[in-house]
C-alpha cells in the first residue's frame, strides 16, 4: 500500500517546494544591473533618485504590486522591494511630497482622474492592504503638483457584491 502513496507524496513535496519559492526575487543585492535586467526584463518605468536610479516593475494596469529595483551609482542592485504597501504610503507627506517624490516612492499610478470641484488630480494605486484586503490608495495633487491628501478605501472592482461599475443599489 505504501508504494501507492509515493507518487502522491512526491507530487505534494514538489508543489510545496514550488510555493516556497513563488514570488521570491530572482535577483540579489550586489547583482549588476545587467543581471537584474536579464532576470526581470525591461522595467515599466525608470526614475533617477540622486546618484542611484530606480527600475519599476508594475504588474499590469490594475495589478496590486509594483516592485522597485534600486541601482547604485556603480551599477549594482541595492534593494528590490514591493512598494504598494501601507508602510510606503505612510512615507508620503501631504503638503510636502511632489509628483516626482510619489513616483520614486510607489511608482506610476494605475489610473489618473481629476476632481473638478476640488481642482485636484488623483492618482490611484490598487494594493493588498495588510496583505489581505483589496484596497485602493488615492493620492490627491493640487495644481502645483504637491500632495494635498491621501485616501484609501475598498477596491470595489474586486468585490463580487459591489456591482461595480454600477454601484447604486435598489
Paired sense of beta strands 52-58 and 45-49, if any: antiparallel
Residue 72 has pLDDT above 60, yes or no: yes
Tell me the C-alpha distance between 78 and 31, whole Å.
8
Contacting residues for 29 by C-beta, under 8 A, at least 6 apart: 76, 77, 78, 79, 80
Paired sense of beta strands 111-115 and 120-129, if any: antiparallel
> Worst-scoring range by mean pLDDT, 2-6, 65-69, 149-153?
2-6
Paired sense of beta strands 66-71 and 52-58, if any: antiparallel
The whole-number pLDDT of residue 159 equals 75
The whole-number pLDDT of residue 26 equals 83
**Taking the complete model, does pTM exceed 0.75, yes or no?**
yes
Q: For the segment 92-142, what is each residue's pLDDT rounded down to a tens digit?
A: 999 999 999 999 999 999 999 999 999 999 999 999 998 888 999 999 999
Mean pLDDT for all residues in the chain: 85
The whole-number pLDDT of residue 162 equals 62
Distance of CA 162 to the CA centre of its chain: 24
Residue 148 has pLDDT above 60, yes or no: yes
Q: Which of 68, 59, 60 is nearest to 27 (CA)?
A: 68
Tell me the C-alpha distance between 32 and 72, whole Å.
10
Contacting residues for 57 by C-beta, under 8 A, at least 6 apart: 40, 43, 44, 66, 67, 68, 69
C-alpha grid cell, residue 34:
545587467
Q: For the chain, what are the domain ranges? A: 26-153
Amino acid at each position: 500500500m505504501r508504494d501507492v502513496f509515493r507518487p502522491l507524496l512526491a507530487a505534494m513535496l514538489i508543489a510545496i517546494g514550488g510555493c516556497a519559492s513563488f514570488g521570491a526575487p530572482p535577483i540579489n543585492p550586489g547583482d549588476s544591473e545587467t543581471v537584474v535586467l536579464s532576470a526581470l526584463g525591461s522595467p515599466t518605468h525608470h526614475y533617477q533618485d540622486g546618484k542611484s536610479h530606480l527600475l519599476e516593475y508594475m504588474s499590469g494596469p490594475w495589478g496590486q504590486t509594483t516592485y522597485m529595483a534600486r541601482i547604485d551609482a556603480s551599477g549594482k542592485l541595492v534593494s528590490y522591494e514591493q512598494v504598494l504597501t501601507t508602510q510606503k504610503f505612510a512615507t508620503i507627506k501631504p503638503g510636502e511630497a511632489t509628483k516626482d517624490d510619489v513616483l520614486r516612492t510607489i511608482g506610476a499610478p494605475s489610473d489618473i482622474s481629476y476632481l473638478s470641484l476640488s481642482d485636484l488630480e488623483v492618482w490611484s494605486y490598487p494594493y493588498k492592504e495588510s496583505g489581505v484586503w483589496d484596497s485602493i490608495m488615492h493620492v490627491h495633487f493640487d495644481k502645483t503638483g504637491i500632495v494635498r491628501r491621501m485616501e484609501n478605501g475598498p477596491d470595489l472592482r474586486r468585490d463580487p457584491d459591489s456591482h461595480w461599475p454600477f454601484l447604486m443599489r435598489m
